[in-house]
Amino acid sequence: MGKRKQMNEEAEQVIDANRNLNTSMKKIGKNQILAIVVIFLLILFLNSTTFNNGSSKVTLKDTTTIVSIENVLLQTYDTLEYPTIIRERIKEQLICEVKMYMTTIAPTTEVSPKLLVELCLKYDLDLALALAQGRIESQYGTKGMATKSNSVFNVGTWDSQKVLYKYKSPNESIEPYVKLMKEDYLAKKTLSQLLQNGGFVNHNGHRYAAAANYESTIRMMVMDIGITTPIKAYQEIIGMTNNEIPVFFNYVKTNDDFLAQK
């Protein structure tokens, strides 16, 4: 009887150990599923945002989805990581949107959407402006003199066919263009002022392009990008501070250390 009792106790211990292991495995599975749900809900939400081009403000379309995302994020991520996670997810979607926009217009373009996004974010240049100019100037490096110079934005190129700068690849021409726009054309004026009729000139009064309707064409394209794609909205969210992102997404959780971060 004593031996049988000992065997029964050992058997119960094995059963308990298996039960604990199964419970642990279930928890791991739930966490993995939860992470997938978070990403899926966030993508759904991002696709439901709309952007008001006139007021330059993002508006929320589905608050129910937002609450769902918030509840999941609260269980999954540390509060201090929240703005970083949001930016990373939205940046991924932004790159996809930029790629889709460019390849729809120029399927053979070699311009890297990732590089274009990263440089515009680095220098705080409006992506819609860059996409509009890249389209007008060279169909993203697939038309005109850019096929020989690799200057996607025709920087250093004149209507007389004179070419001052040549690049090994279209992607090498992106940063010089972005820097030129921020340090010269937009150094002392806003984007709105730049796109006024006759406003696309640098601090020396030199026009970017000879075409009289250049500004109106760019304006229409920038507006179209704001209305038909979430590109401007995504860029605006990425540019928010660590304090603004939780407020925008209705992230209701107080944390003094978190709120003190910039």
* Half-sphere exposure at residue 151, Cβ-oriented, CA atoms within 13 angstroms: 18
The 10s digit of each residue's pLDDT in 193-217 is 999 999 999 988 889 988 899 999 9
* Per-residue buried b or exposed e for 203-233, using 16+ beta carbons within 10 Å of the residue's own CB: eeeeebbeeeebbebbbebbbebbeebbbbb
* Burial group, residue 11, by CB count within 10 angstroms (0-12, 13-18, 19+): exposed
Q: Identify the H or E element spanning 179.
A: helix 174-180
Q: State pTM to two decimals.
A: 0.68
Domain ranges of the chain: 50-260
Instruction: Quote the pLDDT of residue 71.
Output: 53
61-100 residue pLDDT tens: 433 444 444 554 555 445 567 888 889 999 999 999 999 9
* Contact indicator for 252, 69 with CB cutoff of 8 Å: no
Residues in the chain with pLDDT < 70?
1-80, 158-161, 251-262
pLDDT of residue 67: 45
